Structure 1
Amino acid sequence: MESSLSSIKALVNEIKEEMFSTVDLHSFVSPSAYDTAWLAMIPHPKRPDRPIFKGYLDWVLNNQKDEGFWGESNQVGLPTIDSLPATLACMVALKRWNTGEKNITEGLAFIHANLEILLKEINQNCPRWFAIVFPGMVELAQASGIKIVFPEELKGVLSNVFFDRQQIHEMEGLVDEYHYPPLLSFLDAFPSTYDIQEEEILMHLSGDGSLFQSPSATARAFLATGNRKCMNYLVSLVQRCPHGVPSMYPMDEELIKLCMVNQIQRLGLAEHFNLEIEEIMSQVYKTYKKQESIVKLVPAQIYKDSLAFRLLRMHGYNVTPWSFCWFLNREKILDHMEKNSEYFASSMYNVYRATDLMFSGEFELEKARSFSRKLIEKTMRQRRTDNNHVMFPDFHRVIEHELNLPWMARLDHLDNRMWIEENKVSTLWIGKASFYRLSCLHYDKLMQLAVENYEFRQSIYRNELEELKRWSKDWGLSEIGFGREKTTYCYFAMASSTSNSLPHNSEVRLIVAKSAILITVADDFFDEEGSMNELQFLTEAVQKWDGKGLSGHGKIIFDALDSFVSDIAAKHLLQQGTDITKNLRDIWYETFAAWMTESTWSNNGYIPSKDEYLETGMTSIAIHTITLPASCFLSPSLPVDKLSPAQYETITKLLMASTRLLNDIQSYQKEQEVGKMNSVMIYLSENPQADIEDSVAYVRKILDEKKKELVEQALMDGFSGLPKPCRHLHLSFLKVFQMFFHSSNVFDSKADLLQDIMKAIYVPIECQTAKPL
């Protein structure tokens, strides 16, 4: 284990030096073969028989894939349809300078061998960008003397693509508010017969000399006009990106930094880069405060705005939803996004994730969540229907995971594993003719660190779980003979939920897990095993904290509890100089008293009011009995006075109520069978006209509001006297209960969590570290 930790520290130091030093952030953006080929076509003004950017011609010569193509491929190396125009453009560049004959031959072989397969993918739903770019590259290749042989059976598909191109040129304006990217940004792919005026090009040049920040379109604009501003732009690009041309330039360096932070956090590595992350977020927040009204309509802008919102809010910065929901009030933009959903798919995915952090009353986030989900689902349907992998190459499982299991119901540790294993391709958004990617997100050392870090945690978790099993067995809890044996479940959930916030805090994890085991056994004793006399004796013993006279199961429970509380109190006295024995005993008695009250209700057939029930039920769920003692060992720790029932903070009460309601929604049928009441059944008894669906909906509405309030209190300062680590622990345990009771009661299941437990603790990660693209 020690050698693994040494390896992790060494990797961290290397990555800090290489990713967070003065390195040019543009080097993190993966090159576009298509755009690089276009710059390689430009002749030297004084030596027209040579390229002015010879380095890019060399790039084309040296970056052909073994299969003969240039451009995009998925994680197993298979080409996407973007490889067709990219390969054609690269062959044209080589033909232009009479070099790379072997490359051209292999490129042609690839085209002829794969054209049918790739074109069939878009037969029924040809993307707009492909309909514009592919015909243009076919015509340019043929005009360059490259002979492409189209099979007879493809002529129908080709005719459809060329017809789509014709329709686009006839119906769209060169630059209008209804189409993105604007048609003029595809100048490089315009047919030779298209009469484009030089004045039209010059009119739309940006201040930096680019045509819509597109290197390929700007290269074509220079070839057509010889405009000096265009050349200055291209020279600037070459100086910043000597190893290949990105699909967009200039790039937003702040966005690149945000993506780096996002990647590090999702890989579970934030603990190693806290200072670097905080510095970046502080810089981003300064920019955010100066931000004026957004008018841009580009996927990159929406992607950045939503990502910045999520990361800033996660780090406790005060940000408003309108910083990224600005597009919601623009009907033309919404309509445009729906018509061009392929360009906005990754942006909408990010918008959807941003809405996870919704506070109470933020209705614009509800609208953004609904709209983004609709567009993502539309893209996924198109992918399934048309087998069109170009939208999100190998990223569909990540999206499906996001849609099927909400963030609130996911555990950090398993989320990190999913991201390491599935996120092989870092698609940010679709560019004009290729994807815009950050190669730093798949930097081999970063992925290696993620794997080693995850498996190092697994080794810690295995050792802690074995220690916990011994403890549970030694005190007779795991073999008590009734109820649910949940030693592994309790540890898995608590460790996996706090893996990012408490990476090496074994003490807190074991306190939490032991508390949960004791609660599970004692709760089952009250629900299933103990007679009313036994329950009364045990409750009185806890009240007096004296187990004399107890026997059987009651004695086992009390003795284990007494030893556990004494151990915690002794550690706290040693570490922090404060004796919290009475505080801990009071919390546990409060919990036992609540269980006793509920057992009395059930035994007498008493139906409490919903307020009376919730007051007792939010105590009997016992989440505060887990959270507050553990919080005493965080840094900074929970103030001791917050252990007193009279001093519980609002966030603690919200956690208690939320977890009770989550349990009630999934457990009312089981509890009805054994004669116990819960909030769902109480609503029915107080509203005879309602049915069970009405009752569940009523409880769920209350729950949703309380969860939003808790998220706000957990993330933002100023709501309570609890330190941030304590508040984050509250949020982690809400997520644990959401996981247990999301769509069913998996805590009571014997098999539902076994696969997740194996992946979290035992099974090595399935990942091949990737080289930069």
Structure 2
Amino acid sequence: MNNQASASAAPFSTKSEDIEKIRRSVTYHPTVWGDYFLAYNSHLTDILPNEEQERQILREEVNKLLAATSDDSLLKLHLIDAIQRLGVGYHFATEIEKSLKYVYDTYESYGKQHDDLYTIALRFRLLRQQGYFVSCDVFNKFKNSKGKFDESLINNVQGLLSLYEAAQFRVHGEEILEEALGFSITQLNSIVVHVSNSLSTQIKEALEIPIHKTVTRLVAKKFLSMYQQDKSHNDILLNFAKLDFNLLQKMHQKELSEVTRWWKALEFENKLPFARDRLIECYFWALTIYFEPQYSVGRKMLTKVIAMISIIDDIFDVYGTLDELTLFMDAIERWDFSVIDQLPPYMQHYYKALLDVYGEIEEELGKIEKSNLVHYVIEEKKRLARTYFQEAKWVYSGYIPSLEEYMKVGMPSSTYILLAAAALAGINGELVSKEAFEWIASDPLILQASEIIGRLLNDLVGFGFEQKISAVGCYMNQNKGASKEEAFAEIQKLVTNAWKDINQEWLRPNPTTVPMAFLMQVIVNISRITHRMYKDIDDYTNSEANLKAMITLILIQPVTIP
């Protein structure tokens, strides 16, 4: 969540009259939401008994449809794909797992019955999404005598789209999927202007952000209209998905109203005016990590954690002088209200709010008799602050580290270890364990990959705007004569490889000593929202355009139900 404002290094000073001269000049646009979400009171957001009853009836109908559709039929794959893309897969997790386990166990015989490109690629993607490793050799049959993908496939638009989406799940060493990705992108770009408007929109959206790299609620809202236009759509599933989307939206609006009141009470807008006011965007970030109804408490708690990260990021990156940051870092390490008087007034205000938030986390964990585990979340906050402090010291000293040295600090400063720990603390169930927190703290490969994606994408969109240490600048300084374009290309390769690491770690077998499915899904979702948030610009800092539109789509505009 780094900023895109000028942040040139200021000299160390202890003279009070010089402090205001030292501070870096930054102007962020104010919140684009004002008090909008305060209006979402219980009258507007309560789910009525008849609405919940209708949802349960439709859910049972969809469940019957799943049960009645043979696991070895193409229709079952289509149904599972539609359910997941419509955002209602969480209702049928057990049923979907059972069906895909059958498809996996009968993989060879199934392939003999359905051997077209669309089906093979769809089956491959659904199984890898579920964590099953299946060989990519199944795509060899679509190559010609020269070892290239057959040009005749250009007429198979749905097959090309399916191949493109399947290739997103490639791991290291799968050259055929590298070729498949390049081939499908080239062909889809060449035909996008020659197909119908609806198909052209589908292609453009896929090429912009594939299914694997976007977030569930955005996929669901956009796919609803595409699914409705599909003549083969199932009305029961469509109506269920529409109703479920709207009822979840009501729940999310109510949560957002609650955290907005908390935020307004803190008066950060007035007491820390240098910082970004992005509470709604913070909630959206938490929502993309887990949107399901059982995580309501966790979402609100995670929103507060993210908001406090955003503020401390601006304190270290933008406003604090080195002497203030030294005092601040000492206070964070000590984590005690008694040290608050040592801090400047603006830091005092933040520090009290920070400890209060983590006190709330401790209270929630206490409800399941695990309040002692808050220690792990606090330690990750301290680790994050240390990385921010190190980056600030580099800036003040004018030191430019090597890319390797920078990444040792830059990866944890991406915030994702803390986000994973806070997300775990918020689920309020038996999955919360010492072992799970220790797995996160060990910074496993899948989490490292997510950190790399977050840090590098942020640095890429910030280069040229942020006057601070970044991967781009470190690479260019380390490789004298390297151009910006060369630096971008090399860093993008690191991002691509990180996604391959995520794909590899997602595949079974997985360790069973931690709630792996939950934690890994959290980490993948963090990577997905990062990919979306920093795709072209820093949408978090500059939230007036793209991010405002996304939030409006998900949190304001309901789905029209006839």
User: How would you bin the TM-score normalised by the shorter chain?
Assistant: 0.7 to 0.9
Q: Deviations over 1:431-459 (max 9, x none)?
A: xxxxxx7x3xx222211111111111110
Shift of 1:739: 0.9
Alignment of 1:372 onto 2:181 = no
1:314 equivalent in structure 2:
129
Alignment of 1:394 onto 2:187 = no
Alignment of 1:454 onto 2:500 = no
Does the aligned pair in 1 maintain the 2:128–2:507 contact within 8 Å?
A: yes
Report SS of the residue matched to 1:424. helix
Shift of 1:270: 0.9
Gaps of 5+ in 2: 1-46
Find 1:760's aligned residue among 549, 554, 560. 554
CA distance in 2, matches of 1:610, 1:407: 31
CA distance in 2, matches of 1:20, 1:405: 29
Alignment of 1:713 onto 2:505 = yes
Find 1:472's aligned residue among 254, 260, 263. 263
CA distance in 1, matches of 2:430, 2:105: 27
CA distance in 2, matches of 1:714, 1:516: 25
1:650 equivalent in structure 2:
445
Aligned length: 507
CA distance in 2, matches of 1:643, 1:275: 26
RMSD value over aligned CA atoms?
Answer: 2.5
1:263 equivalent in structure 2:
82
The alignment's TM-score, normalised by the length of structure 1, stands at 0.62
Does the aligned pair in 2 maintain the 1:395–1:422 contact within 8 Å?
A: no
Does the aligned pair in 1 maintain the 2:165–2:212 contact within 8 Å?
A: no
1:508 equivalent in structure 2:
298
Letter in 2 for 1:567: E
Report SS of the residue matched to 1:504. helix
1:358 equivalent in structure 2:
170
Alignment of 1:613 onto 2:403 = no
Does the aligned pair in 2 maintain the 1:306–1:354 contact within 8 Å?
A: yes
2:527 equivalent in structure 1:
734
CA distance in 2, matches of 1:575, 1:763: 36
CA distance 1:591–1:611, shift in 2 (3 Å) = same
CA distance in 2, matches of 1:560, 1:641: 29
Alignment of 1:661 onto 2:456 = yes
CA distance in 2, matches of 1:576, 1:330: 65
Alignment of 1:637 onto 2:452 = no
Shift of 1:758: 0.7
Matches for 1:671-710 after TM superposition, within 5 Å? 671-672=466-467, 676-710=468-502
Alignment of 1:535 onto 2:330 = no
Does the aligned pair in 1 maintain the 2:224–2:238 contact within 8 Å?
A: yes
Q: Deviations over 1:30-57 (max 9, x none)?
A: xxxxxxxxxxxxxxxxxxxxxxxxxxxx
Shift of 1:576: 4.5
Gaps of 5+ in 1: 26-251, 384-388, 427-436, 769-773
Shift of 1:620: 1.8
Does the aligned pair in 2 maintain the 1:266–1:415 contact within 8 Å?
A: yes
CA distance in 1, matches of 2:551, 2:58: 28
Matches for 1:29-178 after TM superposition, within 5 Å? none
Does the aligned pair in 2 maintain the 1:421–1:767 contact within 8 Å?
A: no
CA distance 1:20–1:623, shift in 2 (3 Å) = closer
More moved, 401-410 vs 455-464? 401-410
CA distance 1:456–1:281, shift in 2 (3 Å) = same
Letter in 2 for 1:460: M
Letter in 2 for 1:526: F
1:13 equivalent in structure 2:
60
Report SS of the residue matched to 2:328. helix
CA distance in 2, matches of 1:264, 1:587: 36
Alignment of 1:278 onto 2:97 = yes
1:230 equivalent in structure 2:
none
Letter in 2 for 1:363: E
CA distance in 1, matches of 2:529, 2:146: 39
Find 2:386's aligned residue among 581, 593, 602. 593
Letter in 1 for 2:351: F
CA distance 1:379–1:748, shift in 2 (3 Å) = same
Does the aligned pair in 2 maintain the 1:629–1:643 contact within 8 Å?
A: no
CA distance in 2, matches of 1:637, 1:329: 50
The alignment's TM-score, normalised by the length of structure 2, stands at 0.84
Letter in 1 for 2:257: E
Q: Deviations over 1:292-342 (max 9, x none)?
A: 7x6x9x9x622111111111111111211123453136559944624xx33
Report SS of the residue matched to 1:461. helix
Letter in 2 for 1:536: T
Q: Deviations over 1:556-583 (max 9, x none)?
A: 2211111111211222132143512332
Letter in 1 for 2:268: L
2:11 equivalent in structure 1:
none
Does the aligned pair in 2 maintain the 1:651–1:730 contact within 8 Å?
A: yes
Higher relative contact order by CA 8 Å / sep ≥ 6: 1 or 2? 2
Alignment of 1:487 onto 2:279 = yes
Higher-Rg member (1/2): 1
Find 2:366's aligned residue among 552, 573, 584. 573
CA distance 1:636–1:658, shift in 2 (3 Å) = farther
Does the aligned pair in 2 maintain the 1:309–1:324 contact within 8 Å?
A: no
2:217 equivalent in structure 1:
413
CA distance in 2, matches of 1:504, 1:337: 48
CA distance 1:22–1:642, shift in 2 (3 Å) = closer
Alignment of 1:520 onto 2:310 = yes
Letter in 2 for 1:269: V
Letter in 2 for 1:348: L
Q: Name the structure with the higher helix share.
A: 2
Report SS of the residue matched to 1:359. coil
Letter in 1 for 2:163: V
Shift of 1:2: 4.0
CA distance in 2, matches of 1:510, 1:326: 50
Matches for 1:214-225 after TM superposition, within 5 Å? none
CA distance in 2, matches of 1:608, 1:629: 30
Letter in 1 for 2:85: R
Shift of 1:425: 3.7
Q: Indicate the percent of aligned positions where both proteins have the same amino acid.
A: 23
